[in-house]
């Protein structure tokens, strides 16, 4: 498969385009001709230009690419966007293989070996499954620790939504992690009544690159002047990263299983969300993007 090869999925009025060789990314998700996520150019081969890409075996930044675990000092490659910090693991930075493919379904696989050069000293296997039905796109991630020692792990999705200036987000996001200038979280605080999303907030005036924790139910994205809206079912993700760059006309609402830099935090794992996988143990994250307003 070439670096620009795509898999097109269709079901009723929905379509999705998967780009296995571009970090296991989603290149497009449309409903009735409307882009439900930012569309990537057909020739794009950079995950950062895609509609959505997977985050694993960790989410967000790890400070200075360094943490201590199991009696070892772990040193990871930094990423140019966040140097000197590591970013989003390596799944999004490598090609994935196609395991299964049909009109409405694609299953991808990714294998990491401890000597692959990234610095992650555990073996793991990952799968990513895209499934379309009449109203929704479901993306399921799974990771298995195939090494002989316990491994910290996390999963997430990084979708990009267009038309930031016209968008509104509604949902239960009760806690926010304040951040340092490098966007690493510092402390968790309750969201004030003025700043919460329960009654909906316009994205345009917001400047966020923050993780929100807890909350029940789905998140809704609506666009002014558009017939269709999107409901995000977060599945097993107790945390959500919201990124609203003022210099671009996109924004991100990312379901994730742990906060950034979780492996270096002192709070209990129940607070940070980091998961320790025993040898042979798996974890998963299944998120559904439901289109609302279809007729």
Whether 22 contacts 44, CB under 8 Å: yes
Instruction: Say if residue 106's pLDDT is above 60.
Output: yes
Instruction: Say if residue 172's pLDDT is above 60.
Output: yes
What confidence tens digit (pLDDT) does each residue in 156-167 have? Answer: 999 999 999 999
Q: Which residues pair with 26 in a beta bridge?
A: 18, 52
Tell me the pLDDT of the chain averaged across its residues. 95
Whether 82 contacts 52, CB under 8 Å: no
Average pLDDT score over residue span 18-28: 97
Instruction: Say if residue 276's pLDDT is above 90.
Output: yes
Average pLDDT score over residue span 116-120: 89
CA distance 218 to 170: 9
Residue 63 neighbours by CB under 8 Å, 6+ apart: 85, 184, 261, 264
Share of the chain above pLDDT 70, in %: 99
Instruction: Say if residue 1's pLDDT is above 60.
Output: no
CA distance 59 to 246: 23
Please report, in angstroms and rounded to a whole number, the separation of the first and last CA atoms in the chain: 37
In CATH, what is the architecture of 7-292?
Answer: Distorted Sandwich (2.70)
What confidence tens digit (pLDDT) does each residue in 85-94 have? Answer: 999 999 999 9
pLDDT of residue 4: 56
pLDDT of residue 194: 74
pTM of the model: 0.96
Instruction: Say if residue 3's pLDDT is above 70.
Output: no
What confidence tens digit (pLDDT) does each residue in 42-74 have? Answer: 888 999 999 999 999 999 999 999 999 999 999
pLDDT of residue 133: 97
Distances (CA, A) of 30 to 26, 191, 252: 11, 33, 17
Instruction: Say if residue 294's pLDDT is above 70.
Output: yes
Instruction: Say if residue 98's pLDDT is above 90.
Output: yes
What confidence tens digit (pLDDT) does each residue in 202-255 have? Answer: 999 999 999 999 988 999 999 999 999 999 999 999 999 999 999 999 999 999
pLDDT of residue 115: 82
Instruction: Say if residue 153's pLDDT is above 70.
Output: yes
Query: Which tokens is 146 given?
Result: 């195939």
Parse the chain into domains and list their residue ranges.
7-292
Residues in the chain, overall count: 295
Query: Residue 108 — very low, low, confident or very high, per pLDDT cuts 50/70/90?
Result: very high
């Amino acid at each position: 498969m070439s670096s620009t090869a795509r898999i097109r999925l269709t079901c009723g009025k929905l379509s999705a385009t998967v780009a296995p060789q571009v970090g296991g990314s989603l290149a497009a998700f449309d409903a009735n001709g409307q882009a439900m996520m930012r569309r990537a150019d057909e020739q794009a081969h950079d995950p950062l230009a895609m509609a959505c890409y997977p985050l694993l075996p960790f989410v967000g930044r790890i400070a200075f690419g360094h943490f201590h675990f199991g009696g070892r000092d772990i040193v990871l490659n930094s990423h140019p966007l966040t140097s000197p910090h590591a970013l989003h693991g390596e799944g999004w930075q490598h090609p994935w293989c196609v395991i299964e493919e049909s009109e409405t379904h694609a299953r991808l696989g990714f294998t990491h070996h401890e000597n692959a050069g990234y610095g992650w000293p555990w073996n793991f296997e990952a799968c990513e499954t895209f499934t379309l039905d009449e109203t929704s796109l479901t993306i399921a991630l799974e990771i298995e620790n195939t090494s002989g020692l316990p491994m910290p792990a996390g999963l997430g999705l990084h979708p990009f939504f267009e038309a930031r200036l016209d968008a509104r987000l509604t949902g239960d996001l009760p806690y926010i992690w304040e951040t340092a200038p490098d966007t690493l979280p510092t402390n968790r605080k309750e969201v004030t009544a003025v700043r919460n999303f329960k009654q909906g907030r316009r994205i345009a005036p917001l400047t966020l690159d923050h993780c929100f924790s807890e909350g029940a139910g789905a998140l809704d994205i609506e666009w002014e002047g558009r017939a269709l809206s999107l409901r995000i079912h977060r599945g097993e993700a107790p945390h959500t990263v919201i990124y609203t760059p003022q210099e671009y006309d996109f924004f991100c609402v990312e379901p994730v299983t742990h906060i950034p830099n979780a492996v270096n935090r002192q709070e209990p794992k129940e607070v940070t969300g980091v998961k320790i996988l025993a040898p042979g143990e798996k974890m998963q994250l299944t998120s559904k993007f439901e289109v609302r307003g279809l007729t």
